[in-house]
Structure 1
Amino acid sequence: MAITKVKSLKGEITVPGDKSISHRGVMFGAISEGITELTGFLDGADCRSTISCFKAMGIDITQEHDHVVIHGKGLKGLSAPSKMLDVGNSGTTTRLISGILAGQKFISSLNGDESIQKRPMGRIITPLTSMGAHIKSIKDNGCAPLEIGGAPLHAIHYDSPVASAQVKSCVLLAGLYADGVTSVTEPVISRNHTELMLKGFGADIKSEGLTASIVGGPRLIGQKITVPGDISSAAYFIVAGLICENADLLIKNVNTNPTRAGIIQVAKNMGGNIELLNERIVSGEPVADIHVSSSDLHGCEISGEIIPTLIDELPVIAVMAACASGTTTIKDAAELKVKESDRIATVTENLNNMGADITPTDDGMIIMGGESLHGTTIKTYKDHRIAMSFAIAGLVADGETSFDDEGCCVISYPNFFDTLKALS
């Protein structure tokens, strides 16, 4: 796959279903009573890993493209898998399913690909152990593979040192199987899809300020859920519409949950022409159509409470910053180091190779915008967000931009390059 500079970028698109909601729909449907039906499901490798894990525990799940039907067996209806659960490349699957597995009477184990085996799981091992769970890193290195389950749980209040929806969700899901009220307090609010969706399934769950709490032992009932488009997938086209010449894009049906939509605020702060149209609520989540057009962008500081709302979008935001005038400083984003790749390092390496002026820091990067970009071979490190971010950079770079492995996009956006080609 090779990308070349475009003269214009115009059109109307939809993006794949929200990955976070798709994962949770399968998980919560599996431990609910009755049928859960998901429309708009993200048919990507990560979400297929979640389906595979629950099938291995006796849940009947059928899928036709973006339509998934889960025949739930209730909170205690899972069966012991006959072999190690394979979570693939999915950190969401790994951490959320661990909360569910911690409450089972059987012991199970899970593992994933090379990337998952390097990602920190101590952040869930600590709170789950405090709840009385049996959970251990089989290699004793704080990473997968993990062994989980077989012990009764009790409620705790957990002060999480990181603002992570995966950690918060893991503890709340374990709380379904614990006595009493389990709560999690974060330093900054992270995405709240778990809280919104579990409430819809019938859980006694509430959020007050930085704390989310859940009452153990609910009866969850299957739901019909329409999954909106994923703003993390829309982000690439938001940036493309802002940085390309003669661009005018409408991205329809996008989840604009404020705990996820920080990129919209950053685009506005940088002078971007961006507006939300047809705002509405779909299955409990705010949704809108996003209109963007070519813009004269300027640098800004991105730090503090907004970081958890755009952590997955920071690679493509860095591309946007390289195309803006002035300096953009990204701070408080050390979490980038423990994603599918060390995204501080991989973004810095690739932008430097394209001619940008970017300096890495311990918790982010400093980007001096305005330098002309030129094509190069992008080192993706098998990270889907790196591949897609630099495909967008290729739209404004002189020469040809190619990739050592564009196939990793299947993780979250299997048809990404088809969509890009249709617009350009």
Structure 2
Amino acid sequence: MHAISKKASLKGEVLVPGSKSHTIRAVLLAAMSDGKSVIKNPLTSDDCLSALRAARSLGAEIAEAPGSWVVTGRGKDLHVPEDFIDTRNSGTTTMFVAAIASLLDGYTFITGDEQIRRRPIRPLLDALNQLGADAHTTRTGVEAPPVLVKGKMIGGKAYLSGFSSQYISSILLAAPLAGGDTEIFVDKPLEKPYLQMTLDWMRRYGVTPEEVSPDYKYFRIKGNQSYTATDSIIPSDWSGVAFPLIAAVTTPSSVVITGVDFNDCQGDKIVVDHLIAMGADIVKDEAHHRMTVVGGKALRGGTTIDLNDIPDSLPALSVAACFARGKTTFTNLAHVRVKETDRVAVMEEELKKLGADIEIGPDYMIVNGGSPLVGAEVDSHDDHRVAMAMVVAGLFASGTTRVGNVECASVSFPDFFEVMNAIGSNVVVGD
């Protein structure tokens, strides 16, 4: 499936769907809890449905209704699935389920799509093995799924690189149900807002770690605990907000984005502040959970943006940097290279097809913006954030931009094209 985007002027109101990161944590914790939990406003994207299916495979009962999921958890009575678990394209689900599987008697086989089968998981498996599990990849010399995990995790000390917050969050979620206490030692933790999100969700379900260092380098979690079922409402997805937001900023537009919580722990909310610092006309109304964007005004470059805590924002922000006049530098990008794709290399490759002036290194990107982009044929590389970013770039490029393989947008933003067209993007989607 492809999308064709051309210059557009946007007008109207956007309500962004629930957060993928929040939804996955909520449904898996509900499965690990004793009792019935109601999750309102879950994101029904491909990744979140992968988490839902995994929870069912492990023994949870889930009733789906419009706008809510009712999850009857099994607590410590979760069991190994009757078949393998296919997480498809969900890296978060893959990591979290591997840790949950380490609590179970028997073997759990976990796999995913081609991108997941290239995604490093060895550091997590090593940590699970340090805590008493038996976890391995299935291909000799390959550090990525498929994986085979056998319990039981008994606790102890785990040493982890902070390269991916998913490794740490996985251990945090599973540790309270382990046979003994767990200590986690982290070297150079990245993506700290996601770690805080995990801790917040654990507390909602009744578990608080005994100790968390302010720098997120040390955690101590008591074992033999239980999660307690609870009801929750999923907030809007700040990672998804970035795309209609930057589309509005870079085109002659007047757009109101609603349903946003400026106090939420999602790190990507800082994208708004970065855009304001670059000169974007954005008015935040925190009391009413909305912001108003008047777009098409020139943005300023000359800024450096550290993506240590917000790696998912690179595709969207690199597009905004092309619109800005001057040099924008993005730093701390090493972990951005091991997402669904190497997003540093992929965004350089695809934006250069539109005429962008970009330089990259192992952990940085420099965008020399301000020169007009010219429409061309580009590709998503089956990466949902790349797909949406390139569609947005086409809205202020001259001519026609054809983005290939855009069906992957459903991984995190199932109604992306409908939402954008409702405010006048006029993006044409076809086979």
1:184 Cα deviation from its structure 2 partner? 4.6
1:378-403 CA deviation, whole Å, 9 max, x = no partner?
A: 21111110010011111101111112
The separation in 1 between residues aligned to 2:36 and 2:401, in whole angstroms, is: 46
* 1:18 and 1:255 in contact (8 A); partners too: no
* 2:120 and 2:143 in contact (8 A); partners too: yes
* 1:18 and 1:41 in contact (8 A); partners too: yes
Q: Aligned AA for 2:341?
A: S
1:63 Cα deviation from its structure 2 partner? 1.1
* 2:131 and 2:155 in contact (8 A); partners too: yes
1:125-162 CA deviation, whole Å, 9 max, x = no partner?
A: 22222212211001131100000122342232535332
Aligned ranges 1:155-166 → 2 under 5 Å: 155-156=156-157, 158-162=159-163, 164-166=164-166
The separation in 2 between residues aligned to 1:207 and 1:277, in whole angstroms, is: 33
The separation in 2 between residues aligned to 1:70 and 1:2, in whole angstroms, is: 40
1:71-104 CA deviation, whole Å, 9 max, x = no partner?
A: 0111x11122111101010000001111111121
Task: Find out whether 1:198 has 2:202 as its counterpart.
Answer: yes
The separation in 2 between residues aligned to 1:318 and 1:36, in whole angstroms, is: 39
* 1:18 and 1:227 in contact (8 A); partners too: yes
* 1:341 and 1:383 in contact (8 A); partners too: yes
- Point out which structure has higher relative CO (alpha carbons under 8 A, 6+ apart): 2
The separation in 2 between residues aligned to 1:378 and 1:364, in whole angstroms, is: 22
* 1:22 and 1:41 in contact (8 A); partners too: yes
Q: Aligned AA for 1:139?
A: R
What's the TM-score, normalizing by structure 1?
A: 0.92
Task: Find out whether 1:222 has 2:197 as its counterpart.
Answer: no
The separation in 2 between residues aligned to 1:157 and 1:121, in whole angstroms, is: 15
The separation in 2 between residues aligned to 1:54 and 1:181, in whole angstroms, is: 24
Q: 1:147 to 1:302 in 2, by over 3 A?
A: farther
* 1:184 and 1:213 in contact (8 A); partners too: no
1:190 Cα deviation from its structure 2 partner? 3.7
1:239 aligned residue: 246
Mean Cα deviation higher: 35-44 or 143-152: 143-152
1:186-242 CA deviation, whole Å, 9 max, x = no partner?
A: 534242211001101110225431224432222211111111110011000111121
The separation in 1 between residues aligned to 2:282 and 2:158, in whole angstroms, is: 40
Q: 1:300 to 1:133 in 2, by over 3 A?
A: farther
The separation in 2 between residues aligned to 1:279 and 1:166, in whole angstroms, is: 32
1:385 aligned residue: 385
Mean Cα deviation higher: 115-124 or 149-158: 149-158
1:248 aligned residue: 254
1:14 aligned residue: 15
Note the residue ranges of structure 2 that are not aligned, 5 or more in a row: 425-431
* 1:203 and 1:215 in contact (8 A); partners too: no
The separation in 1 between residues aligned to 2:91 and 2:185, in whole angstroms, is: 19
What's the TM-score, normalizing by structure 2?
A: 0.91
2:28 aligned residue: 27
1:267 aligned residue: 275
The separation in 1 between residues aligned to 2:4 and 2:66, in whole angstroms, is: 28
1:411 aligned residue: 411
* 2:125 and 2:136 in contact (8 A); partners too: yes
**Could you say what secondary structure the match of 2:397 adopts?**
coil
**Could you say what secondary structure the match of 2:69 adopts?**
strand
Q: Aligned AA for 1:366?
A: I
Q: Aligned AA for 2:231?
A: K
Q: 1:402 to 1:136 in 2, by over 3 A?
A: same
**Could you say what secondary structure the match of 1:267 adopts?**
helix
* 2:126 and 2:135 in contact (8 A); partners too: no
The separation in 1 between residues aligned to 2:286 and 2:18, in whole angstroms, is: 18
* 2:331 and 2:363 in contact (8 A); partners too: yes
The separation in 1 between residues aligned to 2:92 and 2:378, in whole angstroms, is: 26
Q: 1:279 to 1:106 in 2, by over 3 A?
A: farther
The separation in 1 between residues aligned to 2:107 and 2:261, in whole angstroms, is: 36
Q: Aligned AA for 2:28?
A: M
* 1:171 and 1:184 in contact (8 A); partners too: no
Mean Cα deviation higher: 227-236 or 153-162: 153-162
2:4 aligned residue: 2
* 2:256 and 2:293 in contact (8 A); partners too: yes
Mean Cα deviation higher: 40-49 or 197-206: 197-206
Equivalent residue in structure 2 for 1:209, among 206, 214, 222 = 214
1:303 Cα deviation from its structure 2 partner? 4.5
**Could you say what secondary structure the match of 1:156 adopts?**
strand
The separation in 1 between residues aligned to 2:351 and 2:368, in whole angstroms, is: 11
1:79 aligned residue: 79
The separation in 2 between residues aligned to 1:395 and 1:119, in whole angstroms, is: 32
The separation in 2 between residues aligned to 1:127 and 1:327, in whole angstroms, is: 41
Aligned ranges 1:103-122 → 2 under 5 Å: 103-122=103-122
Q: Aligned AA for 1:134?
A: D
The separation in 2 between residues aligned to 1:216 and 1:276, in whole angstroms, is: 43
Task: Find out whether 1:357 has 2:365 as its counterpart.
Answer: no
1:285 aligned residue: none
The separation in 2 between residues aligned to 1:243 and 1:154, in whole angstroms, is: 51
CA RMSD of aligned residues (A): 1.7
**Could you say what secondary structure the match of 1:80 adopts?**
coil
1:168 Cα deviation from its structure 2 partner? 1.5
1:296-349 CA deviation, whole Å, 9 max, x = no partner?
A: 211144454xx2432111111000000000001111111121111111111011
The separation in 2 between residues aligned to 1:309 and 1:274, in whole angstroms, is: 22
1:34-59 CA deviation, whole Å, 9 max, x = no partner?
A: 11111110011111111111211221
Task: Find out whether 1:348 has 2:348 as its counterpart.
Answer: yes
The separation in 2 between residues aligned to 1:160 and 1:196, in whole angstroms, is: 22
**Could you say what secondary structure the match of 2:314 adopts?**
helix
